[in-house]
Amino acid sequence: MTPKKTTRRKLLKGLGLGAAAGLLGMHPQAHARNESVTPASLNGLPPLKITNVRAIGTAPSGSNLIVVKVETSEPGLYGLGCATFTQRAFAVITAIEKYLQDFCVGKDVDTIEDMWQSAFVSSYWRNGPVLNNAISGLDQALWDIKGKRANMPVYQLLGGKCRFAVPCYTHASGNTPEAAADQVSGYMEEGYRYVRIQQGGYGGTALTGEPDFKKQGYGRETDQYMDQGKYIRDVPKLFETVRRQCGESVELLHDIHERLEPMDAIRVVKSTEPYHPFFIEDPFSPEQMEWFQALREATTVPLAMGELFNNINEFKEPITNRMFDYIRIHISQIGGISPAMKVARLGEFYGVKTAWHGPGDVSPVGHAANAHIDLAVWNFGIQEAARISDLSREIFPGSPTMKDGYMWVNEAPGLGVDINEDLAKKYPMHTRSNWTVRKFDGTIIRP
């Protein structure tokens, strides 16, 4: 038996004796002082301090991934959290190592809520994806530590399982509706009940020719071109073809990705009604939220929104007014597990379900955080599948797994994911970003 296990066994034994004494009114110090037993005196786990906070960056599959490692005063006990903002990864690294590390060292690892609140306002000007991702890495790592201390998976600390595993949707695309339908059929054979369908990628950018702005030398060679009119015409044809080929048993999703003018987005959503999609995602940019009322009045198609929101308060009005049906949170973007749980709980009161963002630019630690919340919240809706490469699994042992359309966590204490830092170093990050999309004349299309 290792010394650590021996220490924990003695600790638990001591906890049992101390608890019994407290119940019988026999706590000697409290009796001598004629005081009630304080919570600290009943705490069977010794206090732990944060000794170091650092960022680990890697890009094994192309996307920049950032993990925060929080080390503690108990040798060998640390936590990991996802802080991935892939487009501005080095800015997040700086926020963690130059500011968050100094802010955290010496603080109690158990005070997660206090740590989150104080970190959120410590820069005075708060919010934004850089600072929120840094806080998220800290928050998730603290939950990871708390689960390890309790010897429980994090979902147990959030209330326990509401389902045996996490149903997920995956992505099908193709240059023709038939090609996309073929992919859907293949995923159905793998056990997926939910598939998001696109034609030529987001907005059909892979299907367009050379735009006028490129002929005129405007913009950069890598800038993408979207033919919005063609996209508007293609969406209902895509849904019709997939439904005809794949039948009614599969749930179909689609992402507009905020790339249309509001009235055009309403047209597209309405055009999918005959094919009863599971949801249409991101019809408007965050700057155009006022259009949701008009969209609600125009259609009964379920809607998902929120992956670009930075502040959890941005969810308050749309949820309480039932402007959309699915909470599309990127958990590291809003600051971690703690704020995500608050938004999920708010949604429960208004019949709004969760649909956490889980693309390739979320680390396996972040996918695990998604899954642990998914298991614990009653108003779960759907989860984006974690398609983690073999190389990423080697770097992140314990990553969630996919089987029969479900995501599974490994039931280890905490979030259950570790990191091989030596291997991670072999795949350094980069500064490339591919989110520049233009109209034919060169006008930027949001997001």
Half-sphere exposure of 149 (CA within 13 A, CB side): 22
Q: Are 180 and 436 in contact (CB under 8 A)?
A: no
Output the pLDDT for position 301: 98
Output the pLDDT for position 36: 38
| Catalytic site residue from 27, 171, 254, 257 | 257
Q: What is the pTM of this model?
A: 0.89
Output the pLDDT for position 46: 83
Q: Tokens for 151, please give them.
A: 């010897």
Length of the chain: 447
Q: Phi/psi class of residue 414: alpha, beta or left (left: φ > 0; alpha: ψ in -120 to 50)? A: left
Closest CA to 325 of 378, 369, 268, 382: 382
Half-sphere exposure of 156 (CA within 13 A, CB side): 16
What digits encode the pLDDT tens for the residues 25-64?
333 333 333 333 334 434 567 889 999 999 999 999 999 9
Active site residue 257: yes
Which regions of the chain are under pLDDT 50? 1-42
Closest CA to 38 of 16, 21, 22: 22
Closest CA to 359 of 134, 80, 81, 85: 85
Active site residue 187: no
| Catalytic site residue from 155, 202, 231, 406 | 202
- Show the 3-state SS of 62-78: CCCEEEEEEEECCCCCE
